[in-house]
Chains A and B, each alone.
Chain A
């Protein structure tokens, strides 16, 4: 009798390990009676990709709403026009040439030094710039926000367990009924998605806050117009989540594509090596 249990055990151990990773991944917040609303994000799964129209609308929400307090310090304007990014356009393989990107950048003032005089100046942004700070420093940010520091949003979706659903629910859960045991001091709001149910950010979204325009999205090499949906809280929350999911993992589509090819390559190679193994060991009992 061969002792198979050890093999079974280690295999099940590996399953438990990956399962545990999955649980850790799925665990989100949720206090009080609030039920997390899990979305079927199209960027999940082995072949999932970002929805450019949603990302573009999400950028609009970020620019018009979130950006009054939250920075995107790891993202450069040119990143917005990269392959797999919200405003990718085949006509501009170099996103620095993309007029949309140039406009987005020019929309911001960037602190710089005048190379002639050495004076501190402000100039319009260029695609190579990163999103500039909202506040001159952390103390100023706290001062303007009742002592709370608005976190940078570049990687916020990666920085929370099940970050996309966390962020989406955080923005739509402000209406939830506050349990009696959560006590709020002035400047704090109830949000069941936060640990402890307290948040220093007032409800950022309200229906119709943003005026959505139709978006232009590349479809089989042509730019096509996607009609604008109604700007409900849920719609804006989902769109900005899509945008921030991209900003946290901008190379996801490239990675998954490479992964698919790699898996096929490894599978074929494994089969070939398996037959080599069978041939080499053909006459040797073992």
Chain B
């Protein structure tokens, strides 16, 4: 809700003085009294959860940086030293590593929320765009950070990803060398990756500021996607959503703590406990789970450059989504057909993740057996074919399904207001 009237009144001489010069307390107060739709459900708590994730990563990361040594001969050892000798290092180091996974878990739920409830549609395109920028920066930060422990997966992951740039026509090789600071991943690479890994979270924090600003300017979306019309449609952010967010944060922290204390290594790869060895390639180079769907898209085509372009396109398509979806109905609650395609989309994202973790030629879905050189082996859909199906659906969802559905689908009747939908729910159900 743009221009929600400020109710802040400075009480003291000092706050009055400050309010005339820099109304920063007013800004905070307005933030707290911000009228939020009264019907926000728990899917709307992930903004707060993500803010917490960013704070946890930045604070734990700064402490780690005080003890970590970005040198190829010392990096692995320094992480071990943090875990064994630095006071509370045994807590902070896995907190940062598990925290990265938790951050991505939360951001994916947040993004699916936006997709389902149409939070990218007018007038919230800028909110969505900044969100996409944050996600892109998160991916970069996550990748850079994973290099730092200098384990086998760190080194070979960095080698594979920076190899993408070598596939760029003409300038590829020089571009790759420029990024690496040499012909291969080595000490200059580790040093610049550390510098950038320290820098990007603060860029993310700045863009989060713009993301929240844009969201406050356009007003929050809500589960029915109907813009609040009267005062009855909204409640002040505090205490209503501070307390609801706080409860969600507690539940999220319990999941976080469970992984942190009981399964700290389960979200990573055992190979990363082997110190990086440029002479020895691990049998399977697999990215962290949060990159697996994109890794599957990359490998869905036999050509390296085409795979990279597809993977980039998979992100770019998110940026142009607000202009691809032709439907004016925001919430898929009122889109009886689109919601099913959305559901398939979510399933396909999981399938792509599964394909990313699998070996392309292995059989993913067994349909029968065949005889190869006298031996009976399972036959059926390979991860390679399955990732092609997933990739086609991923792009079709954005480029075909959403544009066409918006024109042909008949949306269900929507309530006139949030208040009506909340108070007259029985009446609406009866009417259907």
Q: Contact check, A280 vs B243: say whether CB atoms are below 8 A apart.
A: yes
- The verdict on A273 contacting B247 (CB below 8 Å), with A248-B273, A266-B254, A267-B254 known, is yes
Output the least CB separation between B407 and chain A (Å). Answer: 22
Closest-by-CB residue of A relative to B280 is: A149
Q: Contact check, B350 vs A276: say whether CB atoms are below 8 A apart.
A: no
Q: Say yes or no: is B266 at the interface (Cβ < 8 Å to chain A).
A: yes
Q: Contact check, B270 vs A163: say whether CB atoms are below 8 A apart.
A: yes
Q: Mark B59-84, 1 if CB is under 8 A from A, else 0.
A: 00000000000000000010011011
Output the least CB separation between A25 and chain B (Å). Answer: 5
- The verdict on A285 contacting B423 (CB below 8 Å), with A9-B343, A159-B273, A258-B261 known, is yes
Q: Say yes or no: is B333 at the interface (Cβ < 8 Å to chain A).
A: yes
Q: Contact check, A256 vs B261: say whether CB atoms are below 8 A apart.
A: yes
Q: Contact check, B77 vs A74: say whether CB atoms are below 8 A apart.
A: yes
Segment among A13-21, A100-108, A117-125 that sits at the interface with chain B: A13-21
Q: Mark A1-39, 1 if CB is under 8 A from B, else 0.
A: 111011001100110111011101100000000000000
Interface residues of B in 237-279 (CB under 8 A from A): 239-240, 243-244, 246-247, 250-251, 253-254, 257-258, 260-267, 270-271, 273-275
Interface residues of A in 237-285 (CB under 8 A from B): 248, 250-251, 254-256, 258-260, 262-263, 266-267, 269-270, 273-274, 276-277, 280-281, 284-285
Q: Contact check, A10 vs B109: say whether CB atoms are below 8 A apart.
A: yes
In angstroms, Cα B39 to Cα A48, docked, is 44
Q: Contact check, B38 vs A284: say whether CB atoms are below 8 A apart.
A: yes
Q: Contact check, A255 vs B261: say whether CB atoms are below 8 A apart.
A: yes
Q: Contact check, A273 vs B250: say whether CB atoms are below 8 A apart.
A: yes
Which A residues lie within 8 Å of B91 (CB)? 255, 258
In angstroms, Cα B357 to Cα A25, docked, is 13
Closest-by-CB residue of A relative to B257 is: A262
Q: What bracket does the count of chain A residues touching chain B fall in?
A: 35 or more
Which B residues lie within 8 Å of A9 (CB)? 343, 346-347
Q: Say yes or no: is A225 at the interface (Cβ < 8 Å to chain B).
A: no
Q: Say yes or no: is A111 at the interface (Cβ < 8 Å to chain B).
A: no
Q: Say yes or no: is B112 at the interface (Cβ < 8 Å to chain A).
A: yes
**Interface SS of chain A:** helix
Which B residues lie within 8 Å of A46 (CB)? 262
Q: Contact check, A158 vs B265: say whether CB atoms are below 8 A apart.
A: yes
In angstroms, Cα B255 to Cα A262, docked, is 11
Q: Contact check, A13 vs B261: say whether CB atoms are below 8 A apart.
A: no
Output the least CB separation between B102 and chain A (Å). Answer: 12
Q: Contact check, A280 vs B90: say whether CB atoms are below 8 A apart.
A: no
Q: Which of B250, B260, B263, B264 contacts A269 (CB 8 A)?
A: B250
Q: Which of B84, B90, B333, B347 contacts A74 (CB 8 A)?
A: B84
Q: Say yes or no: is B283 at the interface (Cβ < 8 Å to chain A).
A: yes
In angstroms, Cα B357 to Cα A1, docked, is 36
In angstroms, Cα B393 to Cα A150, docked, is 48
**Interface SS of chain B:** helix
Q: Contact check, A270 vs B250: say whether CB atoms are below 8 A apart.
A: yes
Which A residues lie within 8 Å of B257 (CB)? 259, 262-263, 266
- The verdict on A254 contacting B90 (CB below 8 Å), with A262-B261, A270-B254 known, is yes
Output the least CB separation between B371 and chain A (Å). Answer: 18
Q: Mark B359-387, 1 if CB is under 8 A from A, else 0.
A: 00000000000000000000000000000
Q: Say yes or no: is A161 at the interface (Cβ < 8 Å to chain B).
A: yes
Q: Say yes or no: is A57 at the interface (Cβ < 8 Å to chain B).
A: no
Q: Say yes or no: is B303 at the interface (Cβ < 8 Å to chain A).
A: no
Interface residues of A in 170-209 (CB under 8 A from B): 195
Which B residues lie within 8 Å of A90 (CB)? none
In angstroms, Cα B209 to Cα A160, docked, is 42
In angstroms, Cα B354 to Cα A16, docked, is 10
Q: Say yes or no: is B235 at the interface (Cβ < 8 Å to chain A).
A: yes
Q: Which of A22, A75, A248, A269 contacts B266 (CB 8 A)?
A: A22
In angstroms, Cα B246 to Cα A256, docked, is 25
Interface residues of A (CB under 8 A from B): 1-3, 5-6, 9-10, 13-14, 16-18, 20-22, 24-25, 46, 73-75, 79, 151-152, 154-155, 158-161, 163, 195, 248, 250-251, 254-256, 258-260, 262-263, 266-267, 269-270, 273-274, 276-277, 280-281, 284-286
- 20 A–B pairs (Cβ distance < 8 Å), ordered by A: A3-B339, A6-B342, A14-B105, A74-B80, A158-B265, A158-B270, A159-B270, A159-B271, A159-B274, A255-B94, A259-B257, A259-B261, A262-B257, A263-B261, A277-B246, A277-B247, A281-B243, A285-B422, A286-B38, A286-B422
Interface residues of B (CB under 8 A from A): 38-40, 77, 80-81, 83-84, 90-91, 94, 105, 109, 112, 116, 235, 239-240, 243-244, 246-247, 250-251, 253-254, 257-258, 260-267, 270-271, 273-275, 283, 289, 332-333, 339, 342-343, 346-347, 350, 354, 357, 422-423, 429, 432
The 8 A-B residue pairs with the shortest CB-CB distance in the complex, in nearest-first order: A259-B261, A251-B90, A159-B273, A270-B250, A21-B266, A158-B273, A74-B80, A155-B273
